[in-house]
Copies of this chain bind each other. A is one copy, B any other.
Amino acid sequence: MRIAVCQVSARVGERAKNGERLEAVIREAASGGIEAAGSGGANVIVIPELANTGYSFTSREELEEFAEIAELAESSTLTAWHQLARELDIVLVGGFAERGLDGDFYNSSAIVDATGVRAVYRKAHLWDAEKLIFAQGNDLPPVVDTAFGRIGLMICYDIEFPEWVREVSLRGADLLCCPVNWPRALHPASEKPSEVIKVQALASMNRIFIAIADRALADRGQEWSGASIIVDPDGFPLTTLAPGSDNIFYADVDLTLARDKDINAHNNVLADRRTDLYQHIEGLV
């Protein structure tokens, strides 16, 4: 099984161009690309948050132009992704701007495969100025049984909440796919971006694979980290960080490794949890 995470730049306002670029990248990932470790293309492909619209919206009015109802019949984005997933026989995970039937806008992502749209998830932990234009999701993240393994889904800042990652792990996700747009931030030169450290830690704490598709370059002056990465259940990277440009990163994985939560003869990262005590923690839930 091969995973690909696609680090693709985008610009708000250049939707057609963004869409063409995305399609080309998805086709390249599905065919394997020159950077693939072996032969054959990716089976699961992750693209960034708000993949085809760009991220840096400045108002709710602007979202009117981009947001789509999350139904195949209503969304040219989901329709295009479904056609690609069917043609290429892939699971495609990516973000789009959703117009809710309630009139609110959501920062959403979908899991799409050959059979259709398998899940739509609305970001529950909104980042910064998103709070001014998007409504927050009110559902738990999905875990979908696909032809290539059990895939959990969340979006960007969501993954910085260990409760949320624990949730998909407790429900049996082998692989957590996470479209992101990580803003570039200062960090010591000898260190990785803070978000990457968190992803590595959470993969190990839960013994799951995590695949992050980040943005590259900039969008309306907002610079992105370009820190796309695929991490194994030991919490170590299967890919090398390559910020600063568009790129596709591949990893060949055996997702069934994520179903063994034992770390020695006496310890299991999920069974060792002291839920008898956690229930007494004030404010945990």
A residues contacting B by CB (< 8 A) are 124-132, 136, 138-140, 157, 160-164, 166-167, 170-171, 187-188, 191, 194, 197-198, 200-202, 204-205, 234-237, 264-267, 269, 272-285
Query: Is A236's CB under 8 angstroms from B187's CB?
Result: yes
- How close is A218's CB to chain B, nearest CB, in angstroms? 18
In the complex, residue of chain B having the shortest beta-carbon distance to the beta carbon of A171: B282
B residues in contact with A131, CB < 8 Å: 266
- In the complex the two chains form, what is the Cα distance from A264 to B128 in whole Å? 7
Query: Is B274's CB under 8 angstroms from A284's CB?
Result: no
- A sample of 29 cross-chain residue pairs with beta-carbon separation below 8 angstroms, ordered by A number, consists of A124-B277, A125-B272, A127-B266, A128-B264, A128-B267, A130-B266, A138-B276, A139-B277, A140-B277, A140-B281, A157-B272, A161-B272, A161-B273, A162-B162, A162-B163, A162-B166, A163-B273, A167-B281, A170-B283, A187-B234, A187-B236, A194-B235, A197-B197, A197-B201, A197-B204, A198-B235, A200-B201, A201-B201, A275-B284
B residues in contact with A197, CB < 8 Å: 197, 200-201, 204, 235
B residues in contact with A235, CB < 8 Å: 194, 197-198
- How close is A94's CB to chain B, nearest CB, in angstroms? 23
A125-B274, A267-B128, A277-B124 known; A163 and B284 CB under 8 Å?
A: yes
- In the complex the two chains form, what is the Cα distance from A264 to B278 in whole Å? 29
A161-B273, A273-B161 known; A167 and B284 CB under 8 Å?
A: yes
Query: Is B274's CB under 8 angstroms from A278's CB?
Result: no
- In the complex the two chains form, what is the Cα distance from A113 to B281 in whole Å? 26
Interface residue from B127, B204, B236, B278 paired with A285 (Cβ < 8 Å)? B278
- Give the 7 A-B CB pairs with smallest separation, nearest first: A201-B201, A162-B162, A279-B285, A278-B285, A198-B201, A170-B283, A167-B281
Q: What 10 new A-B contacts, CB under 8 Å, besides A136-B274, A170-B281?
A: A160-B205, A164-B274, A166-B284, A167-B278, A191-B236, A194-B234, A197-B200, A198-B205, A284-B284, A284-B285
- How close is A279's CB to chain B, nearest CB, in angstroms? 4
- How close is A166's CB to chain B, nearest CB, in angstroms? 6
- In the complex the two chains form, what is the Cα distance from A140 to B284 in whole Å? 13
- How close is A187's CB to chain B, nearest CB, in angstroms? 7
